Structure 1
Amino acid sequence: MSDVIVHVMIRGRVQGVGYRAWVEHQAAASRLEGWVRNRRDGSVEAVFSGRSEIVANMLTRCRRGPPSARVDAVAEEPASPDLLKLREPGEPFSVLSTI
């Protein structure tokens, strides 16, 4: 399988419930690269890079989220490698500041 990069927007009750930390843990356990951050509109935004089947599995998990989250929608689109440059230097997966 080939590598893919996807840009994801997750909506619902996904802030204040540990969603970013959960995504970081899931991504690290799956050896995905990318980042996650909260947005001021209440959504969570993420970029995942890795083997297509592993990214697809991560997207399936994002539709559920951690136990206290309520995910209403997950929108995904192919992303450019430029989005990976937002990570902290030297980190395979970063939790970024809210925008």
Structure 2
Amino acid sequence: MSKMARRYFVIGRVRGVGFRYWTAGRAKHYGLVGWVRNRRDGRVEVLAYGEAEALGNLERELQDGPPAALVQGVEPAPVTPEEAGLAARATRFEQAATL
């Protein structure tokens, strides 16, 4: 099986509801590495690396988020080759600083 990197922007009421903590837990559950961070524009950004099936499972769960969230959408976005390389070398899934 081949591994790949995927980026998602999650929009809605996703700040102040434990979304990053929840996402990190779900990503770890699926054996993914990468990071999740808040964006100053109110979105949450996820960059995850792993098996395609695990990435699909995470994307489906992002549609709902944790109980206090109100997700309005999950937008896939491109990953640069440099970011994919960094993600491939990651050893864990972490909560990153706001960008």
Same structural fold, with TM-score higher than 0.5 when normalized by the shorter chain: yes
- For 2:90 and 2:59, locate their aligned partners in 1 and report how far apart those are by CA, in whole Å: 24
Deviation at 1:78, TM superposition (A): 4.2
Q: Give 2:2's aligned residue.
A: 2
Q: Give 2:45's aligned residue.
A: 45
Q: Contact (CA 8 Å) 2:9, 2:43: kept in 1 or not?
A: yes
- The 1:8–1:23 alpha-carbon spacing in structure 2 relative to 1, beyond 3 Å, is same
Q: How many equivalent pairs are there?
A: 97
Q: Using structure 2 for the length normalisation, give the TM-score.
A: 0.88
- For 1:92 and 1:43, locate their aligned partners in 2 and report how far apart those are by CA, in whole Å: 22
Say whether residues 1:15 and 2:10 are aligned partners.
Answer: no
Deviation at 1:77, TM superposition (A): 3.0
- For 1:33 and 1:71, locate their aligned partners in 2 and report how far apart those are by CA, in whole Å: 22
Q: Contact (CA 8 Å) 1:5, 1:78: kept in 2 or not?
A: no
Q: Using structure 1 for the length normalisation, give the TM-score.
A: 0.88
Deviation at 1:21, TM superposition (A): 0.1
Deviation at 1:80, TM superposition (A): 3.3
TM-superposition CA deviations, 1:16-73 (whole Å, max 9, x none): 0000000011111111011000011110001011110110010000000000000001
Q: Where does the alignment leave 5 or more consecutive residues of structure 1 unmatched?
A: none
Say whether residues 1:33 and 2:47 are aligned partners.
Answer: no
CA root-mean-square deviation: 1.9
Q: Where does the alignment leave 5 or more consecutive residues of structure 2 unmatched?
A: none
In percent, how many aligned pairs have the same letter? Answer: 37
One-letter identity of the residue aligned with 1:28: K
One-letter identity of the residue aligned with 2:38: N
